[in-house]
Amino acid sequence: MKLQTEIEIRPATSSDVSAIGIIGKTSFIESHGHSASLKDINCYIETVYDENTVLSELNDPSNMYHLLFYQSKLAGYSKIKLNTACDWVQIRAIAKLDRLYLLQSYYGQKLGYQLMDYNLQLARNGQQKGIWLFTWIENHRAISFYNKFGFKIVGKADFRISENHVNPNHIMFLNLINA
């Protein structure tokens, strides 16, 4: 989907596995790198963004990965799952925004807004009544970003970084029925 001449969002394919891993590792370190020890962070990113793990997720039809390009350069990606229940939300037929990653060098250009709008439209097109996500309680930039879209904090959960470390996370929800 071409949003402007400089921005393109398209579904990811198996040929994008390496790029997704690189963006995932880089973005996670940029936003969460100071949340745990280097050993714990490395354990997490080497497991979650391993090419085999990413390929397995890409091959799972419940995961929808989309890449965001700016001026023909990969700037970020998203992962959304439709019909994914949340214990903190009573509404059914809701989507989980699993990842919305943008490289820090692209901050301030409203690219994250474009990618979020795209995912919200995916959820609406999939007849989802809402969308939920986890965000680290100390990621104030992300919390502010999600608040601008109307997300509300509805609960808390621990996000396991490693066997030895968890980060407290907000569970945030956006009701799409009245949005």
For 57-76, how does the pLDDT look when each residue is reduced to its tens digit (9 = 90+)? Answer: 999 999 999 999 999 999 99
User: Band of the pLDDT at 82, cuts 50, 70, 90?
Assistant: very high
Q: Kindly give, in sequence order, each residue whose CB lies less than 8 Å from that of residue 119, ignoring residues fewer than 6 positions away.
A: 66, 78, 80, 95, 97, 100, 131
pLDDT(47) > 90: yes
Cβ atoms of 3 and 9 within 8 Å: the answer is yes
Distance, in Å, from the CA atom of 66 to the CA atom of 79, rounded to the nearest integer, reads 7
Instruction: Report DSSP state, residue 82.
Output: S
